[in-house]
Structure 1
Amino acid sequence: MCVALDDGPAHPVFPGVGFISFAELSWRRFEAASDVVQVGQRVACEFLQFDTWNLEARLSLKATQPDPFQVFADTITVGQKPPGQVTKLVPVGVFVQVAEGIEGLVHLRELAWTPVETPSDAVQVGDKITVVVTGIDRELRGLALSRRHGSAADA
């Protein structure tokens, strides 16, 4: 995404222009850049580096905001049982949103008390379920969840 700079290193071909990659737009998942910013919107960005290969300033919008995963990780511990909503079914399990913008994976083997072949045998997108936090990986921003470590009534 091309950004007009108020100040900063000049671009040799497009003076006053920097670039924000999709990965640097937001901590949250989004489909299109317009879900995060609009054409003509003024934003404050952090300068990451000058890309000498492409001769352009690399910028980050998300670097100006706290990482919601790290904030969440400060408030949760392994063993806690947050409620969540199933957001996506994948061959290895399901993703469950346990807080705004925070999702974790319930592996297929942790999805039900009895073995299931596919995630849809146990849940559907949109289902509200209670999960147990079994792991928090701050470095990889990963959250491991289970339904089997909870009470049998939750399964």
Structure 2
Amino acid sequence: MNPREFPELVAFLCSLAQGQPMSGTVSAIERFGVFVKLDDGPEHPNLPGVGFITIPELAWEHIDAVTDFVRVGQHITCEFLQYDTWNMEARLSLRAMRPDPLLAFADEVAVGHQLRGTVTKVIPFGVFVRVADGVEGLVHEQDLTSAPQVGDELTVVVIEIDRERRRLHLASGRG
């Protein structure tokens, strides 16, 4: 797209400030993200909305189905992240409007703490275990005492909490 052909859209996108809340209606759900028709601002000449949310920016937790979080026609409020100059759209984050559950978890739980959790995913090098709402940690295969399956309950021990990278490292516990 040639930005010179759409001066109103460019002016609108350039006027946005990072962190600014923006409201709109989900106009389309694609395998790569969600288009949002913003309440304020011009129409997009080619896309179903000026706003766009990538899959990772929808929620803090792992996403299996986008429709578990948003649906077409739903009115939402997001945070503006940046102006995508290639697609001439506003990149948005829905998850930024909610507190990060891992940070709240890290404030309450220390390394060495033993927890119960549910296996959510089995991968070649370990398993992911949900230990709180929106909080999953990885148990590496060398830290497993058995071969759990999805849905199994496990006792785990917190090995490391990496706030910056948003990672939780766990090991199988006793009991």
TM-score interval, smaller chain: 0.7 to 0.9
Q: Does 1:24 align with 2:49?
A: no
Q: Does 1:64 align with 2:97?
A: yes
Which residue among 119, 141, 155 is the counterpart of 1:130?
Answer: 155
Q: TM-score, normalised by structure 1?
A: 0.82
CA distance in 1, matches of 2:79, 2:43: 16
Specify the alignment match of 1:115 in structure 2.
none
Q: TM-score, normalised by structure 2?
A: 0.73
SS at match of 1:139: coil
Matches for 1:113-152 after TM superposition, within 5 Å: 122-147=147-172, 150-151=173-174
Q: Deviations over 1:94-131 (max 9, x none)?
A: 1111111211111111112xxxxxxxx53222221211
CA distance in 2, matches of 1:126, 1:86: 5
Specify the alignment match of 2:16 in structure 1.
none
Q: CA deviation at 1:61?
A: 0.9
CA distance in 1, matches of 2:150, 2:65: 22
Q: CA RMSD in A?
A: 1.9
Percent of paired sites with the same residue:
55
Q: Does 1:108 align with 2:115?
A: no
CA distance in 2, matches of 1:39, 1:12: 17
Instruction: Give the number of equivalent residue pairs.
Output: 141
Which residue among 80, 103, 108 is the counterpart of 2:113?
Answer: 80
Hey, which bits of structure 1, 4+ residues long, moved more than 6 A?
none
Q: CA deviation at 1:11?
A: 5.5
Contact kept? 2:50, 2:88, Cα under 8 Å: no
Contact kept? 1:11, 1:56, Cα under 8 Å: no
